[in-house]
Amino acid sequence: MIATKKSNIPTDKKIAVTTEELQAMLSCGRSSAVQIGQMAEARIQVGKRVFWNVEKVKTYIDLISE
């Protein structure tokens, strides 16, 4: 199996992020990050890997914030 390479692209420039990057963006734990991502319908699955659409998450956060 080939190891995943980490990129040096800043998170704010990415269109999709991993669950760990989503946690960092939202400053929350894994469970909360996954829940927010699912509520935003931002999940992208490629094989066994899961990514999250950043724009959908940002839009969802804007909609639920008061």
pTM: 0.87
Using N-to-C axis directions, what is the helix angle for 19-26 and 54-64, rounded to 10°? 30
> Is 1 inside any structural domain?
no
Q: Each residue of 13-61: pLDDT tens digit?
A: 899 999 999 999 999 999 999 999 999 999 999 999 999 999 999 999 9
> Is 58 inside any structural domain?
yes
Number of domains in the chain: 1
**Among all chains, which residue has been given the structure tokens 């199996």?**
1
Task: Show the domain range for 35.
Answer: 14-64
